[in-house]
Amino acid sequence: MNRRSFLKSSTLAGGGLMLSFTWLSAFKSAGTTGIADLPGDWVEINGYIKITPDNTIKILNPNPEFGQNVMTSLPMIVAEELDADWKKVVVEMGPHDSVKLGPQFTGGSNSVRMYWRPLRQAGAAARHMLVEAAAQTWSVPVEEITTKGGMLYHEKSGKSGTYGSMATKAATLAVPKDVKLKDSKQFKVIRSAQKNVEGAKIVSGKPLFGLDYQQKGMLIAMIHHPPGFGMKLKSYDATAALKMPGIRDVFTQKLYEDGFEQGGFDTRSFNDLLVVVGNTTWEVMQARKQLKVEWEPAGETKDTMGGRGQKREVVVPGTLESTADQLKKMQEYAAKPAQQLRKDGDPETAFKNAAQIIERTYTAPFLAHNCMEPMNFFAHVTDEKALVAGPLQAPGWSEPTLAKLLNLPADKIEIQMTRMGGGFGRRAYGQYMFEAALISKKVKAPVKLVYTREDDMTYGIYRPMYTATYRAALDANKKLIGFHVKGGGIPEHAIHANRFPAGAVDNYLAEGWQIPSNITIGAFRAPRSNFNAAAEQSFLDELAEAMGKDPIDFRLKLLQRAKEAPVGRNNEYDAARYAEVLRLVKEKSGWGKPENAQYSRGVAAYFCHASYAAHVVDIVMKEGKPYVEKVTSAVDCGIVVNPDAAANMVQGAVVDGIGNAFYGGLTHKDGVPVQNNFHTYRMIRMPEAPKKVEVHFVQNDIDPTGLGEPPFPPVFGAVANALYKAASKRLYQQPYAPQLETPKAF
Amino acid sequence: MITLNINNKPYNVNVSPDTPLLWVLRDTLGLVGTKYGCGMAQCGACTVHLDGTATRSCLLPVSAVGKMKITTIEGLSQKQDHPVQQAWLELDVAQCGYCQSGQIMSAVALLKQNKAPSDADIDAAMAGNICRCGTYLRIREAIHRAAELQRKKG
Ligand code: FES
Ligand code: FES
């Protein structure tokens, strides 16, 4: 199978990666992985597993690691079906090879979900081949052989052997077409808490990250990008910069030539790059300050987009945007007719006949990813080949563009995936890898491109700016008879028209509109969902109050309706699973009686990326500032592969959610991002983090789904609802905390 | 030529005196355990110890170090068995791990002065270290655990 066909199917799925069986067939052939540093006696069983005669079992992690712990959880899945002793398994990061190792994409809460079956099959197939090898060697029937902890046993004859002893023979056998997978009751590795396999390296500061990558003779490059969106380079004078110590070169470099067909993840914020190259990071930083640069408005520009669907031209407006104007424009657009995204029943009549209409509008700012490791990439490009190494979530998506830009065939390009210091969607967009490669090609040397924090924060690819107006129609008995959401954003809206409460209300309308912008946006830990969960879950809370109902009971009632007699078609969520997380969080939080009378409680639940999450948040006000003291979480992501690591991720999502809801926001003045480092972009810190986050997983046998995103969105809603109780007023704009804090901290 | 004492070893470096210690460690000496996060003493990723005191190395000119002893994450222990490292491993604190060198160095400095820090002490000592992954709860727990391990060790 070829990459292109895989890429096609992944982009067609639009956000949720779908796996085709074509891809699965890639697992059926053994062969060498092309890893250069393997000792000669490694025996290849299949793409994922290597077993040495001395019984060392090495499992490759196919997917880039950005803190979601796939480096541990994915190999655990293989080890389970292989029946290996997890303590003896050696995990290593796989090379980038989307033919042998599958899509290798970290994002969309997809890693465990998409690799679950293939990895189990890989493990089971390997085990089967070892059993077969033992049966042949010992001349006994296959069925009589059992395995445990990396050993093969034949009870009747008393024979036993290590996997290693059979590995060489096993490698000569055919890979079985169909293998039986374990029943979930037999799981020993899966569902057991296992430590991060890179933990020891992390606590001792080993070079794991892209920014740590070094090579002899390597130069450092930085890009001086325009200060604001909608601006471009007019002229520059590098005389002073070039005289600075350690400086090699200053030049301009175009990222994409005119008419270059960009793929869906080739988002560029600025195309004309002013590059400074020198020996060390500090020297380059200092020299960059000596550049005399004039910028000018770029005016309207054009991007040629390939990738998703047809080749097309996209006009990028030249406006130098300011936040006040953005808000005003959003109000204008909100009043205009919008695109209908879903309609059930007759919402117009329902609203006409309503005894009461509740209408609320919510807004949220652009958010910067602020991965703690700023964007960076190493590249060494020659006329014949290219080696690039760095933090990237989806190397396979960027590789075709890299090949085009460098004019090299894909097999002459080696992409090494380093551990990422956070990703959150930002590193799905590989333009910084292209930049590094083009710079290396130009200076004919190995180069590491480094973004400073300021570069990172002002370079674009943000969570979009959103707004939505929710309306509910109640009849004289305070029964909900109509629901309407109209959402918009810069440059895209957040509406998921087929999600709850769609399916639970007879008369339902969802509409969307968008305002084109030159501010580049992208994935951000479920960008649309985290806004929706803030707005919709606040609105449902307010609605419950207006109807005199308990917020959890109110939601459960709607979900019951969605389950028993769903309205409309294409409802994306499973109402029973959705209800279950609410029930669980109700029980575990002791809803109705907080453990501390001072606590103000809020609840929210949300479904996204195929998983369900609900939180109850307890807030106290201290000296005029809101603090989340305690959070109780209930999550249904199917089978939990590594429970403690999964709990860590939920806790992290809760903290991150509080931080972004309370403090997150990037504003603009004449195209220039107003916040450019952590003194102005406020991040949640230790004193503001909750003291307790209790995580409860729904126990079931459903194939695992994602966890990186799903627990994040409902935090926003739960926080908003608890703040309402704590501050006795509803907040409709994010970030929330500055509106309550006295004196205003930022 | 500037002579530095890092993790009890002398190093001679030939850099401009205004170079922040962070970049001397990372670029010149290849000690990349100390991280860059903001370059303006806002995030704590670059935390090292100067004579045992937690210091942000990103704003500290190398010429200002003088005879002070520098300890980096690489110098905490040979086998990741410093009580703070042990506690971090026990609680499996890290997510992406990028901020953790700085978190650990801040925690070690705290525990040096305060053998049994309260939650409020931890809040005060750790407020300068940002973690986007949101591992604060486990960091807090790990600091309490490390204090316990340290006491046991005596
Ligand atoms: S890099 Fe020094 S405090 Fe952020
Ligand atoms: S673990 Fe990722 S930033 Fe702290």
> What percent of chain B clears pLDDT 70, i.e. is strictly above it?
100
Q: Is the CB of B145 under 6 A from ligand 1?
A: no
B70 CB-near residues (< 8 Å, 6+ apart): B4, B5, B6, B7, B21, B48, B49, B50
**End of a domain among B76, B99, B123?**
B76
Question: To test ligand 2's pocket by mutation, which of B98, B103, B104, B106 has the most ligand atoms within 8 angstroms of CB?
Answer: B98
Q: Which residues does residue A233 pair with via DSSP β-bridges, in sequence order?
A: A295
Q: Which of A552, A544, A535 is nearest to A360 (CA)?
A: A535
Q: Tell me if chain B has a CB within 8 Å of the CB of A210.
A: no
- Token pair 């909100």 is at which residue? A334
Structure tokens that stand for A250 in this block: 């200053």
Together in a domain, B41 and B71: yes
Domain that holds residue B129: 83-153
Q: Which ligand 2 atom lies nearest to the CA of residue A372?
A: 3
**End of a domain among B76, B96, B123?**
B76
CATH assignment of A32-203, given 2.60.34.10, 3.30.365.10, 1.10.357.10, 3.40.630.30? 3.30.365.10
Task: Quote the number of domains for chain B.
Answer: 2
Q: How far is A305 from chain B (nearest CA, A)?
A: 32
The predicted pLDDT at position A41 comes to 33
Q: Is the CB of B26 under 6 A from ligand 1?
A: no
Q: Is the CB of B59 under 6 A from ligand 2?
A: no
Nearest-CA residue of chain A relative to B130? Answer: A685
Rounded Cα gap, residues A402 and A391, in angstroms = 15
Q: Do A659 and B101 touch (CB under 8 A)?
A: no
Backbone φ, ψ for residue A190 (5° rounding): -65, 140
What Cα–Cα distance (Å) separates residue A443 from each residue in A221, A242, A277, A362, A648?
Answer: 10, 15, 8, 49, 43
Together in a domain, B48 and B96: no
Report the residue from A207, A372, A692 with minimal CB separation from B132: A372
Report the residue from A68, A422, A655 with minimal CB separation from B136: A655
In degrees, rounded to 5, the angle at the alpha carbon of residue A682 between the alpha carbons of residues A680 and A684 is 160
Q: Tell me if chain A has a CB within 8 Å of the CB of B145.
A: no
The predicted pLDDT at position A31 comes to 29
Low-confidence ranges of chain A (pLDDT < 70): 1-48, 98-102, 307-309, 742-746
Q: Tell me if chain A has a CB within 8 Å of the CB of B131.
A: yes
The predicted pLDDT at position A563 comes to 98
Structure tokens that stand for A386 in this block: 């290219």
Rounded Cα gap, residues A14 and A110, in angstroms = 13
Q: Which ligand 1 atom lies nearest to the CA of residue A678?
A: 4
Q: How far is B154 from chain A (nearest CA, A)?
A: 22
Q: Tell me if chain B has a CB within 8 Å of the CB of A351.
A: no
Chain A residues whose beta carbon lies within 8 Å of the beta carbon of residue B80: 200, 203-204
Rounded Cα gap, residues A459 and A520, in angstroms = 8
Element (H, E) at A618: strand A611-622
Q: Please name the residue ranges forming H helices in A57-215.
A: 70-82, 111-138, 163-170, 199-203
In degrees, rounded to 5, the angle at the alpha carbon of residue B75 between the alpha carbons of residues B70 and B81 is 145
Structure tokens that stand for A96 in this block: 């980038």
Together in a domain, B103 and B142: yes
| Residue A666, CA atoms < 13 Å, CB-side half-sphere | 29
By DSSP bridging, strand B69-71 and strand B47-50 are antiparallel
Rounded Cα gap, residues A68 and B96, in angstroms = 7
Distance, CA of A424 to chain centre: 4
Report the residue from A421, A677, A689 with minimal CB separation from B137: A689
Nearest-CA residue of chain B relative to A679? Answer: B42
Which 3 state secondary structure label does DSSP give A507? coil
Rounded Cα gap, residues A267 and A251, in angstroms = 22
Report the residue from A198, A203, A677 with minimal CB separation from B85: A203
On the question of a cis peptide bond just before residue A491, with omega within 30 degrees of 0, the verdict is yes
Distance, CA of A651 to chain centre: 16
Cα dihedral A429/A431/A437/A441 (nearest 10) = 160
**Contact present, B96 and B32 (Cβ < 8 Å):** no
Q: Do B42 and A422 touch (CB under 8 A)?
A: no
A28 CB-near residues (< 8 Å, 6+ apart): A175, A177
CA A420 to ligand 2 centroid distance, Å: 10
Report the residue from B30, B94, B122 with minimal CB separation from A686: B122
Report the residue from B23, B94, B123 with minimal CB separation from A686: B123
Together in a domain, B88 and B70: no
Q: Which ligand 2 atom lies nearest to the CA of residue A421?
A: 2
Q: Is the CB of B97 under 6 A from ligand 2?
A: yes
Q: How far is A629 from chain B (nearest CA, A)?
A: 11
First-to-final CA distance of chain A: 53
Which 3 state secondary structure label does DSSP give A438? helix
Q: How far is A341 from chain B (nearest CA, A)?
A: 34
| Single-letter amino acid code for the residue at A548 | G
Report the residue from A202, A205, A369 with minimal CB separation from B72: A205
Element (H, E) at A529: helix A527-546
The domain made up of A528-745 has a fold known as Aldehyde Oxidoreductase; domain 4 (3.30.365)
The phi-psi region of residue A294 (left if phi > 0; otherwise alpha if psi is between -120 and 50; otherwise beta) is beta
Q: List the CATH number of the domain containing B19.
A: 3.10.20.30
**Contact present, A75 and A645 (Cβ < 8 Å):** no
The predicted pLDDT at position A101 comes to 66
Q: Do B42 and A206 touch (CB under 8 A)?
A: no
Which 3 state secondary structure label does DSSP give B85? helix
Nearest-CA residue of chain A relative to B78? Answer: A204
**Contact present, A379 and A447 (Cβ < 8 Å):** yes
**End of a domain among B76, B107, B136?**
B76
**Contact present, A386 and A412 (Cβ < 8 Å):** yes
Q: Tell me if chain A has a CB within 8 Å of the CB of B87.
A: no
Q: Tell me if chain B has a CB within 8 Å of the CB of A344.
A: no
To the question of domain A210-305+375-450 being in CATH 3.40.80.10, the answer is no
Rounded Cα gap, residues A107 and A117, in angstroms = 18
| Single-letter amino acid code for the residue at A427 | R
**Contact present, A686 and B136 (Cβ < 8 Å):** yes
Q: Which of A132, A123, A140 is nearest to A172 (CA)?
A: A132
Rg (CA), chain B: 15
Q: Do B95 and A68 touch (CB under 8 A)?
A: yes
Rg (CA), chain A: 27
Q: Is the CB of B104 under 6 A from ligand 2?
A: no
Residue A209 DSSP code:
B
Q: Which residues does residue A621 pair with via DSSP β-bridges, in sequence order?
A: A626
Q: Is the CB of B108 under 6 A from ligand 2?
A: no
| Residue A709, CA atoms < 13 Å, CB-side half-sphere | 31
Rounded Cα gap, residues B45 and A372, in angstroms = 8
Rounded Cα gap, residues A22 and A25, in angstroms = 5
CA B80 to ligand 2 centroid distance, Å: 19
Chain A residues whose beta carbon lies within 8 Å of the beta carbon of residue B144: none
Chain A residues whose beta carbon lies within 8 Å of the beta carbon of residue B135: 648, 651-652, 655
Q: Is the CB of B137 under 6 A from ligand 2?
A: no
Burial class (CB in 10 A: 0-12, 13-18, 19+), A99: middle
DSSP B66-81: TTPEEE-GGGS-SSS-
DSSP A694-716: EEEE----SPP---SSTTSHHHH
**Contact present, A343 and A508 (Cβ < 8 Å):** yes
Together in a domain, B97 and B67: no
By DSSP bridging, strand A247-254 and strand B53-56 are unpaired
Rounded Cα gap, residues A458 and A461, in angstroms = 9
Q: Tell me if chain B has a CB within 8 Å of the CB of A202.
A: yes
In degrees, rounded to 5, the angle at the alpha carbon of residue B133 between the alpha carbons of residues B127 and B135 is 60
CB neighbourhood size of A18 (10 A): 12
The ligand placed nearest to the CA atom of residue B105 is 1
**Contact present, A274 and A226 (Cβ < 8 Å):** no
Q: Which of B25, B100, B137, B138 to mutate to test binding with chain A, by most A CBs within 10 Å of its CB?
A: B137
Burial class (CB in 10 A: 0-12, 13-18, 19+), A562: buried
Chain A residues whose beta carbon lies within 8 Å of the beta carbon of residue B43: 372, 453, 678
pLDDT tens across A555-583, in order?
Answer: 999 999 999 999 999 999 999 999 999 99
Which 3 state secondary structure label does DSSP give B124? helix
Which 3 state secondary structure label does DSSP give A391? coil
Q: Do A644 and B92 touch (CB under 8 A)?
A: yes
Rounded Cα gap, residues A389 and A376, in angstroms = 9
pLDDT tens across B74-126, in order?
Answer: 999 999 999 999 999 999 999 999 999 999 999 999 999 999 999 999 999 99
Span(s) in chain A for CATH 3.30.365.10: 32-203, 210-305+375-450, 528-745
Q: Is the CB of B139 under 6 A from ligand 2?
A: no
A positions 464-503 inside 8 Å of B (CB): none
| Single-letter amino acid code for the residue at A90 | V
**Contact present, A54 and A97 (Cβ < 8 Å):** no
Q: Which of B133, B135, B140, B145 to mutate to test binding with chain A, by most A CBs within 10 Å of its CB?
A: B133
pTM assigned to the model: 0.94
Chain A residues whose beta carbon lies within 8 Å of the beta carbon of residue B14: none
